[in-house]
Amino acid sequence: MKKFRLPLVAMAAFLLAAPLQAQKSKDGWVDLFNGKDLTGWKQLNGQAKYEVKDGTIVGTSVMGTPNSFLTTEKDYGDFILELDVKVDNKLNSGIQIRSLSKPDYMNGRVHGYQVEIDPSDRAYSAGIYDEARRGWLYPLDLNPEGKKAFKRDAWNKYRIEAIGNSIRTFLNGVAVAHVVDDMTPAGFICLQVHAIGSKEMEGTQVSWKNVRIKTTNLKPSPATNVRIVNLIPNNLDAAEKAQGYSLLYDGKSVSQWRSYGGTEFPAKRWSYQDGVINISKSDGSETGNDIVTRKLYGPAFEYEFEFKLTEGANSGVKYFVDQKFNSNGKSGIGCEYQVLDDERHPDAKLGKNGNRTIASFYDVIPADRPKNAVKKIGEWNQGRIVVQKDGTVQHFLNGYKVVEYVRGSPQFKEFVAGSKFAKFEGFGLSQEGNLLLQDHGDNVFFRSLKVKEIK
């Protein structure tokens, strides 16, 4: 047998390198960027310029091209990703995770979860957006403190933990966003250069460095009190349970609900099947056939729900419902989060200053929302009502804060005095009350009803 001997110099180099290699990988981190070139990456969609300078990836905006994406050649499912980012104050960017590009979807357009890079005054950095799909999943109206984490004209450290259905983001050590979703379990990672709309922005840049990933022995960061957006219907994640949330409807049982003025769930026009509570259409008028929780909630709580409208539909989600008020056979009296097809239902044009439009404090305070806050008819909207210990009340629609007021304040009393509820003495001031889903005679769907009592 012929023996081959490794030259002494090569053997020495191998022996010296082996411990270094083991030390580099023993904690499980792998560099996605080698600091020299773009090996392992490819560009999709737009024609922005990507290059390596001084150990960083630099993306430069180009006029007349759509969003550009520098993507990993490999897909990743569960991982922890860390990287440093610096961006021109005029440019928007993002970090795509679990993303896809398919010929049969928008001609190969990159789509999926995006962790935002936003140096603008809006300050949504590390919020979560669903690129070319559902839009904002976690705008930072949900975490005002998180808006303060980004540093302009400086390097910012991002940490993204995608483990199972949970996606959490951290920016400069601050917990920013937490989404629970099962739409896309795996996909590539990419670095976005956003399209620009003016010649003056051409040449603006975003840079990335220290891009590394860990895919084994994943240990999530300790739990925080950051608001969780759970997009899995009628699901309560372990982190939500730890924060004190409970389901009011688990997709199967309506044992926590009864008819308004009765003791059992209504036998007429309300149904619950396929994970959805539905009120079917009648003549479009208030019927008094509402449902309410058996339990009273207050003085402080958070109430979350999803609703889906049909064309021209009207309904409402009420809180602090006080059954001492005589409703004359109509809907129970309480503070109402309006549920309405603004485009087709005439109620949207009644009241004052739009205070009967979707997500408004019905007939009292109008919702102030961006145009893209409302989903299309037939799609699910996320509603949220927060009542704090100091009496502050907030309405959210699909993550955007659209109403805020303080119960019992002079402004509150002034608004109520100018509404249809002025005749009800003490309206909206009860320390506790039922939660209510309204029957307004239209076909509306509800799911993912959950509540957290604030002690």
Domains and CATH numbers, the chain: 28-214 (2.60.120.560), 233-453 (2.60.120.560)
pLDDT at 4: 38
Low-confidence residues of the chain, pLDDT below 70? 1-26
- 276-279 and 400-406 as β-strands: parallel, antiparallel, unpaired? unpaired
Q: Which residues contact 67 (CB under 8 A, 6 or more apart)?
A: 45, 46, 110, 131, 192, 193, 194, 195
| DSSP E strand stretches across 139-232 | 156-163, 166-171, 174-180, 187-193, 205-214, 229-230
Neighbours of 38 (CB within 10 A): 14
Please say whether the dihedral angle defined by the alpha carbons of residues 441, 444, 445 and 450, taken in this order, is positive or negative.
negative
In contact, 290 and 228? CB cutoff 8 Å: no
The model carries a pTM of 0.92
H/E element, 412: helix 410-417
Residue 285: the pLDDT is 76
The candidate with the shortest Cα–Cα distance to 113, out of 97, 90, 136, is: 97
For position 2, what pLDDT does the model report? 40
What's the confidence (pLDDT) of residue 356? Answer: 98
